Amino acid sequence: MKLIVGLGNPDKQYLNTFHNLGFMCVDKVAEKLGAEFKKEKFRAKLAETGSGDNKIILAKPLTYMNLSGESVKEIAAFYKVASKDILIIYDDFDLKKGFIRIRESGSAGTHNGMRNVIKELGTENFPRIRIGFKPVEPMIIPLIDYVLSGIKDEDKPLFSAATDKAALAATDFAGGADILSLVQKYNGKSNA
């Protein structure tokens, strides 16, 4: 069984923001797997496909970013998903715009949502896909305002390609691919 979680914020005003790259990606994973977000349970929107050991649960926590771990913990506990089978997809300011980075484990860095996931799960030992959005040009607004700002039209193809690539990696993970092979195959810049 696999649990794939995209981090984001549920309200409409956040739809096209950097902080919702995780939601955007997990929507693409659902499309690739033919799953639909029909359920609302454990303070998350859920989509499911497969059965038994081959069951795949996709989740978009509705707790808002900074409390994402509370929802992830509830889902993982209910379905008895081991931490190695939980994949978290999220935006990362510490990574260059348009790059994706897959890791088997690690700290939260500057990401409050991931900090909460680690706290609630009680471990850093779960795989993650980070989608970078660090701007090339110097920032003139505070980071909190930047992460919640809209993705510019000229950058949409780049982030669409990055979330496509991350979704392919997540789909491979759902199919049983090991993390090291995903690292070798997908880490780096998207092809936009």
pLDDT of residue 192: 57
What's the chain's average pLDDT?
Answer: 95
Q: Residue 139's pLDDT is what? A: 79
33-72 pLDDT tens trace: 999 999 999 999 999 999 888 999 999 999 999 999 999 9
Question: For 121-142, how does the pLDDT look when each residue is reduced to its tens digit (9 = 90+)?
Answer: 999 999 999 999 998 888 788 8
Contact predicate 120/70, CB 8 Å:
yes
Give the catalytic positions in this structure. Answer: 19
Going by DSSP bridges, is the β-strand pair 86-96/128-134 parallel, antiparallel, or unpaired?
parallel
> Cα 131 vs. chain centroid, distance in angstroms?
8
Of 52-56, 78-82, 158-162, which gets the smallest average pLDDT?
52-56
d(CA 30, CA 77): 22
Lowest mean pLDDT among 24-33, 71-80, 107-116: 107-116
pLDDT value at residue 143: 84
Q: What is the DSSP string of 62-106?
A: SS-GGGHHHHHHHHHHHHT--GGGEEEEEEEEEEETTEEEEESS-
Query: What's the whole-model pTM score?
Result: 0.96
Q: Which residues contact 158 (CB under 8 A, 6 or more apart)?
A: 97, 98, 190, 192
Q: Are 81 and 75 in contact (CB under 8 A)?
A: yes
pLDDT of residue 39: 95
DSSP notation for 1-15: -EEEEE----SGGGT
Q: For residue 66, give both structure tokens.
A: 């900074």
